[in-house]
Amino acid sequence: MPKISDKGLNMPPSPIRKLVPYAEAAKKRGIQIYHLNIGQPDIHTPEVMMNAIRNIDLKVVEYSHSAGIESYRKKLAGYYQKNNINVDFSDIIITTGGSEAIEIGMMACLNPGDEIIVPEPYYANYNGFSTQASVIVKPIASTIESGFALPPISEFEKAITPRTKAILICNPSNPTGYLYSKEELMVLKELVIKHDLFLFADEVYREFCYDGKEYFSVMHLEGLEQNVVLMDSISKRYSACGARIGAIVSKNKEVMAAALKFAQARLSPPTFGQIAAEAAIDTPDSYFEEVIKEYVGRRDLVVSALNKMDGVFCPKPSGAFYCMAQLPVDDADRFCQWLLEEFSFEGQTVMLAPATGFYSKPELGRHQVRIAYVLKPESLTNAMKCLEEALKVYPGRTVIAKESATA
């Protein structure tokens, strides 16, 4: 029998979805599950998007331009300009979700075997994207005690080799919810200039910044226009994950010319998604004001409940809708599976994402989980109660020494 490729063998499975079979089995047993394992908001998609989809009147669903529908790119450039990101529509290529934007960015800027530095814990699918692009991820550890702040620049310097080509950050961060400050990004700017690197930025959560903290984009870094490649998506901004529309944005014409060739190879991004995304730009500011207020309430509920549990520690995130919590358990993967296979409280249980998949070395996340606070407050309250009761009876409960919290 023919063998599959090495790349196919090495492609990592999703740590966010690997527990789905256990969840399905639990549901068949009649257990209600609170899904805090995946960033699928229950916030309503803006009505302007839904109306655009309902009112589509096409005779033929044609290919769009490989870079995306021009009217959408022009309108999207206006959205960026509203956020003080001065780009032209020609600096934008529409992609099939933010995922394709990252894949294309890696393939356009890095050769096979080149290295990209990423602060960890990081979005698990970066491993998959780098495998597809034959790129090597070089992690730089952040710590839960610091709330996952940017690691010291000296750690970046240590990681740089002749094969280092780029640094990738997610801001605000998935999975930690950490929001990088202007000062932290300025430090990165100097490093990028010193070593002539690309700076990739996954900024899909830019709308979700809390506690009066300001969003500062890598595109705001003056003098770095030829180094910066922005990856974006409408999935979380408009609670439209299934529309599968993202974008790669850069002032570097050479990068964008290369990116367009990869975009041409996949023909074009989804037509219906682009129509909905173009309409979404007309979403009123009041929508985001309400959504941010809702997420702040959910965050405060979850983080407060976690930190009241015996042996649990969770730093307070300033962005996105995730938090990372350290639990008094022997193994996060085992605990999360046990929650679905063997535990229930009043016919309910909770599904979490083990943090092992967000680190380069699974042992670094062995006592941590990522929680997506994407459910209504009543459901989050019930989920936190389930978790509290589960920790009381989990057979592998343990005491986590302070130093083991570090990544």
Over residues 188-224, the pLDDT tens digits come to 999 999 999 999 999 999 999 999 998 999 999 999 9
What is d(CA 91, CA 102) in angstroms, rounded to the nearest whole number? 16
Contact 79, 233 (CB under 8 A): no
pLDDT tens column, 250-260: 999 999 999 99
| pLDDT tens-digit readout, 137-196 | 999 999 999 999 999 999 999 999 999 999 999 999 999 999 999 999 999 999 999 999
Provide the whole-model pTM: 0.94
For residue 250, give every residue at least 6 positions away whose Cβ sits within 8 Å of its Cβ, in sequence order, or none. 91, 228, 229, 230, 256, 259
Percentage of the chain surpassing pLDDT 90?
A: 94
Strands 322-326, 368-372: pairing kind: antiparallel
pLDDT at 14: 79
Q: Order across the sheet with 353-354: list the strands.
A: 322-326, 368-372, 353-354
pLDDT of 27-73, one tens digit each? 999 999 999 999 999 999 999 999 999 999 999 999 999 999 999 99
Residue 405 has pLDDT above 60, yes or no: no
Q: Could you give the domains of the chain?
A: 6-44+286-405 (3.90.1150.10), 47-280 (3.40.640.10)
**What is the structure's pLDDT at 407?**
37
Please state, rounded to an integer, the average pLDDT across all residues of the chain.
95
The average pLDDT across 320-333 equals 97
Give the model's pLDDT for residue 401: 55
- Average pLDDT, stretch 302-330? 98
Q: What percent of the chain has pLDDT over 70?
A: 98
